[in-house]
Chain A
Amino acid sequence: MSNQNSEITNEEWEDIILRLQAYTRKLVKEKGWFRGDEAGVYLSGKEIDDYVFEAIGRYLKNPEKYDPSKRTLVEYLKKHLIRSLVNNDLISAENRTSSDVFAFDNDEEDENDSTPFLDSILSHAQIFFDEEIDYKEIMNYMESEVKDDVDVENIFLGLVGCGMKRAEIIKEFNMTANEYDNGMRRLITIRNKAAKKYNIKK
């Protein structure tokens, strides 16, 4: 994908919009902190669309801040999304579910960060998660649940134990892309089962 917004084709924008919509919606669904039953409306009336286009707008205003040698444009925009969501969560203290004290940095905070995408967002994402949940117990439960399914177990261990990416897991465990995607779906089902068992708010 090109790095200057004037060079991004409509087809590329469609790809970006769909992926950011899916990402934000999934992210919001994973959290227990948004208000109401509708995932689309929460926090001062902001909707998922608003977050997506806030991130895109930040890029369009200052495209030179994006360095394509460090991460993809979609990853760059996802980082903006995470930061906006976290920031909003912090502004609305009554909406907080975490006791973490998180000093939210300014917009320039990690433009030079070239660590892998998932690693680079973990510190931002921490604020989303409730301190009171027994994560160790949940992870132990999941570990026991994935044991009967080789692909799912490999994905689980690759992601959690080794911090591997999709492509690395596929290569390491000699899977096809389809096997990975199907295994990931089963793993998410197990995670949902764990959420139900441990009464995690959705």
Chain B
Amino acid sequence: MNNNSKYSKGDFIRFVMATVEHVSSDKEKAKEFLSAEGLNVDSIVSDGMKRLKRLKMQIEAEKTKAEMLSADEAKQKASEWVDDLLSKIDFSLPELVKEEELTMSFRNIEKLSQDDIKKILVKHFTLKFLEEQAKSKK
């Protein structure tokens, strides 16, 4: 091993990585390199664009599935939450409406059945939980 040198392994690596960088520093150099490797540049582009399209569709499908799962989970959580709320002895719908800033008139509240109240509250809390999930992901 030669120790009388101003160069190190790191210098060599830097140099090699700079040459790797060079062949891909712009589109024309990339084409030149790939052609010199005996590859069909047009095929690389067309096959690549097809694969990109498939990849985008796959990712969109995964996102949609995740969103649906997330919505189902939020609905389930909201339903359990509302059941728990309604079972409390001191539950007061007018107070909850005020607390949660629900837009309902008192005249409507009086006419609502227990099922109607549950549906409205489940819908409200589902949206609330979904909003919270979205915020926490950011």
Contacts and interface: CB of A to CB of B under 8 A. Distances in A.
Interface string B18-38: 111111111101110110010
Given A118-B14, A122-B14, A136 B30 contact: no
Interface string B80-102: 00000000000000000000000
B30 A126 contact: no
B52 to A, nearest CB: 6
B29 to A, nearest CB: 7
> Which one of B7, B20, B37, B41 has the greatest number of beta carbons of chain A within 10 Å?
B20
Contact of B51 (A5, A49, A139): A49
A134 B101 CA distance: 73
A122 to B, nearest CB: 6
B7 A159 contact: no
Interface range, A side = 35 or more
A135 B59 contact: no
Contacts of A26: 19-20, 23-24, 33
Nearest to B10: A122
A22 B34 contact: yes
Contact of B30 (A21, A122, A166): A21
Closest 7 CB pairs of A and B: A139-B7, A136-B5, A22-B30, A23-B24, A17-B48, A135-B12, A18-B30
A14 B9 CA distance: 35
B3 interface: yes
B23 A22 contact: yes
Contacts of A143: 7
B109 interface: no
B55 A125 contact: no
A184 B22 contact: yes
Contacts, number: 147
Contact of B27 (A18, A30, A118, A122): A18
B44 A188 contact: no
A73 interface: no
B26 A19 contact: yes
Nearest to B9: A135
Interface in A15-36: 15, 17-23, 25-27, 30
29 contacts: A10-B49, A13-B49, A14-B45, A17-B49, A17-B52, A18-B45, A19-B24, A19-B25, A19-B27, A20-B24, A21-B30, A22-B31, A25-B37, A30-B19, A30-B20, A49-B51, A53-B52, A74-B24, A78-B24, A118-B14, A118-B18, A121-B17, A125-B16, A135-B8, A139-B7, A139-B15, A142-B15, A166-B25, A191-B19
Interface in B39-55: 41, 44-45, 47-49, 51-52, 55
Given A14-B45, A139-B12, A61 B59 contact: yes
B134 interface: no
A61 B55 CA distance: 10
A168 to B, nearest CB: 12
